[in-house]
Chains A and B, each alone.
Chain A
């Protein structure tokens, strides 16, 4: 009986695209960050997979590194490494640094530009 979204071995599926499409830069960062977090023994592979499996129905629509990044986020918050609020604040700060338009209006973006 299938109980988790990642349990796909044995299902019918199409031909394999045998080309390695490599990784985007952010995916390399996300992978290295996840790896360092594991090296520090903050989490482990089983725990991250449990967190990924808890994505449930969202799992199949997400790309690989979106799944792993979501799993790291869930586990680090569970372990009290930071709060959801701290993460949101830091993400807003980084968005501004990248100069990505969002609700924050231009004075802040200009300041962040340096």
Chain B
């Protein structure tokens, strides 16, 4: 085998033209044009009815929106960066993902979080074929493609083709494992730490741990 193990997956990657250089933690939210639709009115109506009954408050909903936008998307990178620099933490993360995330203040909604580690032999990808189960407390809201029919249908039987669409080309000798999430059990990919990041702070490491790397459709790369 040639090349350093850490650069293994990256071979043939950099020359792939794809547009994941932006910060994929922050999607550009689309504006709502025109009059509100039926479902928008329905959702607001339900919220107001529960507010009137004193069951929830508008502040609780607003706070939750802010957490989904500004807090949750960054937890995943922080957790994996810690795992990269702290072997004992990594062991705890792999043994009981939920408890390890709680140590760092990230409270998972699901019963179990299973962290799956990429190695030179195995690459992991996550999906929820039935719907959109996703470690939201670690990655924010799932991107559009994660919820799409095409991703959910295909990644389970032709993951290499799907990964290629994300610009990720895996050598034939690397085993690809696809993990199907459900309501009680979520997954998080722990990518391999790239060579050239020795001595980096956790914060700097978290900067290359984009959402897509933690779902497993891409691998971390050093900034160009």
Give A residues with C-beta under 8 Å from B: 4, 6-26, 28-33, 35-40, 42, 44-46, 49, 52, 64-66, 69-70, 72-73, 76, 81-82, 86-87, 90-91, 93-95, 98, 100
Contact = CB atoms under 8 A, between A and B. Distances in A.
Contact of B153 (A12, A28, A66, A70): A12
Nearest to B62: A32
Interface of B: 18-20, 24, 27-32, 35-37, 39-50, 53, 55-56, 60-62, 64-65, 68-69, 109-110, 127, 129-133, 141, 143-145, 147-154, 156-157, 162, 165-166, 180, 183-184, 217
B141 A31 contact: yes
A55 to B, nearest CB: 12
B68 A31 contact: yes
Contacts of A14: 150
A32 B66 CA distance: 9
Contacts of A90: 45-46, 48-49
B65 A29 contact: yes
A1 B36 CA distance: 39
10 contacts: A9-B130, A9-B156, A25-B29, A26-B32, A29-B61, A45-B109, A65-B39, A69-B39, A70-B39, A87-B46
Contact of A28 (B29, B60, B150, B217): B29
Contacts of A23: 27, 29-30, 141
A18 B130 contact: no
Contacts of B130: 4, 6-7, 9, 49
Contact of B55 (A70, A81, A91): A81
B152 A9 contact: yes
B41 A98 contact: yes
Nearest to A88: B45
Given A42-B55, A91-B41, A32 B143 contact: no
A20 B32 CA distance: 16
A30 B37 CA distance: 12
A69 B42 contact: yes
Contacts of A20: 24, 27, 143-145
A13 B68 CA distance: 30
A94 B19 contact: no
Given A65-B39, A90-B46, 16 more contacts: A9-B180, A18-B145, A19-B144, A21-B144, A22-B30, A24-B30, A25-B31, A32-B62, A33-B64, A44-B183, A45-B109, A64-B147, A69-B43, A72-B43, A91-B41, A100-B35
